[in-house]
Amino acid sequence: MKFIVSSQVLLKQLQSIGGVLNSSNTLPILDNFLFEIEDQKLTISCSDLESTMTSKISIDAKSEGSIAIPAKMLLDILKTFPNHPLTFSIDDKMGVEISSDYGKYKLSGYSGDEFPRSPVIEAPSTVTISSHIFQRAIDKTIFASGNDDLRPVMSGIFVQLSESDLTFVATDAHKLVRYTRNDVKSSAAASFIVPKKPMNLLKGLLQNFEGEVTIKYNESNASIAFNDILLTCRLVDGKYPNYDAVIPKENPNRLTVDRNAFFQSIKRVSIFANKTTHQVRLKINGSELNISAEDVDFSNEANERLTCSYEGESMEIGFNSRFLNEMLQNVDSDNVIFELSAPNRAGILIPDNSEEGEDILMLVMPVMLNS
């Protein structure tokens, strides 16, 4: 087996899919990239058993076949080359020789037959979304997903398709984000939970791609295809919590405040908060928002005032500053609207303007105030 490929083209493709690789694998073969050559096309795959990514590039090939090549060593050598043609020669014993104008490099590969096959999605349903919408939906929700291995359904993103809209939901039980697009529709209603890792990989890759993303899914697997990249992953098995039930419907108290001023104020004040609870106190009265925090054990205290627009009764409510900051960081608008009902009920954060066709709702649970 022999082929010629540009070092930089190959490196770019390996780096774009290499995020799937785990630092420690139960199967040693998963420390490799699978190279498969057919019809002057090189298909490169890598997997962690849960997710598999493949990429295709055109090459000058003298023969067809497959081989698994150690990922770390291959990436390390490719990073050292300028844009340069490389010749890969593979012998019958899976020895790999890479030739360049600088010299020759040898390493041992493995039989491509040992590499686990990517699951074939049988009888899939298909939906097509613009890359911008898909990337934005992940970007606006993924930070709210959980990391609890005991509750795997909450460590993914819930995707809900209907004939009227597309909804992405993420929650860790302390905060929740619901992102809806009414400009994306599906011919049939469906829902599934995509794990966090493949969503994170897609979030990065879609930033540099403009075009259509094709999603195929059945009850157990999903594949996302765009450009020359295909990601196939196992869906999270389980029922997603009824997120609508936790969103308070009656919120008579409505605070409108400058997003950046609010964000910076909480960032400063939270430095003085208790390091376990990260609690900040919001006291709202008329057009004044008072933000304070204290750590009684170390006699630390901070207090700031912001002007705001407020409709409703005077209120004092506590929140975990880290959750508030995460939400404010993921809002694009100049102002945010904070809807509140009572000090012991969740607060709802909404951007005061969004992209056309977009509806974002962020919910954060309060923390009990120390009197």
Confidence bin at 371 (pLDDT 50/70/90): low
Measured CA to CA, the distance from residue 198 to residue 156 in angstroms comes to: 9
Residue in the block written with tokens 């009824």: 242
pLDDT digit string (tens) for 208-244?
A: 899 999 999 999 999 999 999 999 999 999 999 999 9
Residue 93 neighbours by CB under 8 Å, 6+ apart: none
- Domain end point (choices 228, 244, 260): 244
Residue 340 has which token pair?
A: 């509140």
pLDDT digit string (tens) for 239-259?
A: 999 999 999 999 999 999 999
pLDDT digit string (tens) for 17-41?
A: 999 999 888 899 999 999 999 999 9
Measured CA to CA, the distance from residue 44 to residue 38 in angstroms comes to: 11
Average pLDDT, the chain: 94
Same domain, 131 and 240: yes
- Domain end point (choices 79, 114, 149): 114
Q: What is the pLDDT, as a whole number, of residue 230?
A: 96
In CATH, what number is assigned to the domain containing residue 63?
Answer: 3.10.150.10
Q: Note the pTM of the prediction, 2 decimals.
A: 0.92
Structural Rg of the chain based on CA atoms: 25
What is the mean pLDDT of the segment spanning 71-79?
96
Confidence bin at 157 (pLDDT 50/70/90): very high
Is it the case that residue 135 has pLDDT exceeding 70? yes
Same domain, 140 and 221: yes
Residue 119 lies in a domain: no
Measured CA to CA, the distance from residue 36 to residue 112 in angstroms comes to: 8
Same domain, 49 and 97: yes
Q: What is the pLDDT, as a whole number, of residue 325?
A: 96
- Report the side by side order of strands in the sheet with 253-258: 190-195, 156-161, 166-171, 175-181, 358-364, 347-351, 335-340, 253-258, 309-311
Residue 65 neighbours by CB under 8 Å, 6+ apart: 1, 36, 37, 90, 112
Same domain, 56 and 137: no
Helix and strand numbers (H, E) in the chain are 6, 28
